[in-house]
Amino acid sequence: MAAEDKQGHKTEKVGEVVSTKMQKTIVVQVSRRVPHPLYKRIVTKRKKFYVHDEDGTAKLGDVVRIVECRPLSHLKRWKLGEVIRRAAQVAVQPADLDVKV
C-alpha cells in the first residue's frame, strides 16, 4: 500500500471567479447541469465558494480549478489550484470615461 492510497484524493472543482474584492480571498461560482428530480429537464445549478488565493493571481472572469483543504476561516474551505483560462482584458481609454478633470 503506497502513501497516496492512505491519504485519498482532494475534491476539485472548476468554476469562474465572480469577485476579487477581498484580500487573499476570491469567490468562485461553480455551475453544474443536473436533471430536475420530477420533470427530468436539465437545469443549471450554481454555488459560490470562498477560495484562498495567497498571491492574488486570479482575476475577475478567470476560469479556475479549486482544491478542498482544511478550514482556513469561517467560510473558506478551498484553495486556488490553478488558473485554467484567463479572462479577456478590455482596455478602457481615459477619454472614453465621463470623468471631469
Per-residue model confidence (pLDDT) at position 5: 53
Question: Average pLDDT of 61-68?
Answer: 97
Indicate the range of 35-44, 45-54, 90-99 predicted with least confidence.
90-99
Name the CATH superfamily, with its identifier, for domain 9-89. Answer: Nucleic acid-binding proteins (2.40.50.140)
Question: Average pLDDT of 6-31?
Answer: 93
Give the H or E element holding residue 43: strand 42-52
Report the 10 Å Cβ neighbour count for 18.
13
Per-residue model confidence (pLDDT) at position 95: 63
* Domain range list for the chain: 9-89
Question: Average pLDDT of 3-11?
Answer: 71
